């Protein structure tokens, strides 16, 4: 079967790729003194040398336009108890007041025009490196310039099959040794 003869349903693709568990993040950036955020789970480490991270942003998303113009952004990795922040920054919050959260400036990073979520599991500050086209999304690549790890326990929120889950960090299994180091 050739690629052109295959007819795949976008919903079926979304349901299938949804079986790949991911972490949940909030991408933040600052434009003209105003902080903007967007929930994202299409985030990946790209390279160690140089340290690069990528985030996929829908071309129609408000954040897509902002990331075209701003030089910096932060990827905030959410903890298991921060589902409300994911919902809020995804635009699905139904309450009159936002859930509680605090944005703080990066310490010792005067070049950063971005903030991070104070109580996130972790945060990665990036300077925009490159933006590539990827179908109906932009692939935003950032050069990592700062790292922050929140206080333990380090329990992330996970997204799997269209739902949130928590990782049971008490059931640990060692990974096979890496051969590329």
- Report the phi/psi class of residue 62: left, alpha or beta, with left for phi > 0 and alpha for psi in -120 to 50: alpha
Quick one: pLDDT at residue 5?
45
**Using alpha carbons only, how large is the chain's radius of gyration in Å?**
17
* Under 8 Å between Cβ of 35 and 123: no
Distance CA 162, CA 17 (A): 10
For residue 89, being part of any structural domain is answered with yes
For residue 56, being part of any structural domain is answered with yes
* Under 8 Å between Cβ of 75 and 53: yes
User: Per-residue pLDDT tens for 160-171?
Assistant: 999 999 987 777
For residue 169, being part of any structural domain is answered with no
| Domain coverage including residue 140 | 26-156
Q: Which of 69, 54, 73, 45 is nearest to 145 (CA)?
A: 73
* Under 8 Å between Cβ of 113 and 58: no
User: Per-residue pLDDT tens for 35-64?
Assistant: 999 999 999 999 999 999 999 999 999 999
User: Per-residue pLDDT tens for 103-158?
Assistant: 998 887 655 667 999 999 999 999 999 999 999 999 999 999 999 999 888 899 99
For residue 73, being part of any structural domain is answered with yes
Quick one: pLDDT at residue 12?
93
For residue 170, being part of any structural domain is answered with no
pLDDT of 1 > 80? The answer is no
For residue 167, being part of any structural domain is answered with no
For residue 34, being part of any structural domain is answered with yes
pLDDT of 24 > 60? The answer is yes
What's the structural domain count of the chain? 1
Exposure string of 98-124, with b = 16+ CB inside 10 Å and e = fewer, is eeebeeeebeeeeebbbbbbebbbbbb
Question: CATH no. for residue 122?
Answer: 2.30.110.10
Distance CA 72, CA 55 (A): 13
């Amino acid at each position: 079967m050739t690629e052109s003869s295959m007819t795949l349903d976008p919903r079926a693709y979304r349901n299938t790729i949804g079986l790949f568990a991911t972490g949940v993040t909030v991408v933040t950036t600052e434009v003209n003194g105003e902080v903007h955020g967007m929930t994202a789970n299409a985030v990946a480490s790209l390279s160690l040398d140089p340290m690069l991270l990528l985030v996929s942003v829908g071309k129609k998303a408000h954040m897509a336009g902002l990331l075209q113009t701003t030089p910096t952004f932060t990827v905030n990795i959410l903890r298991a108890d921060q589902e409300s922040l994911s919902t809020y920054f995804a635009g699905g919050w139904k309450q009159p007041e936002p859930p509680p959260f605090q944005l703080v400036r990066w310490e010792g990073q005067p070049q950063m025009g971005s903030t991070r979520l104070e109580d996130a599991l972790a945060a990665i500050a990036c300077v925009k490196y490159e933006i590539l086209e990827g179908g109906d999304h932009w692939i935003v690549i950032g050069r990592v310039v700062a790292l922050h790890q929140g206080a333990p326990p380090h329990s992330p929120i996970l997204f799997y099959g269209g739902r949130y889950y928590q990782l049971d960090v008490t059931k640990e299994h060692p990974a096979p040794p890496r051969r590329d180091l």
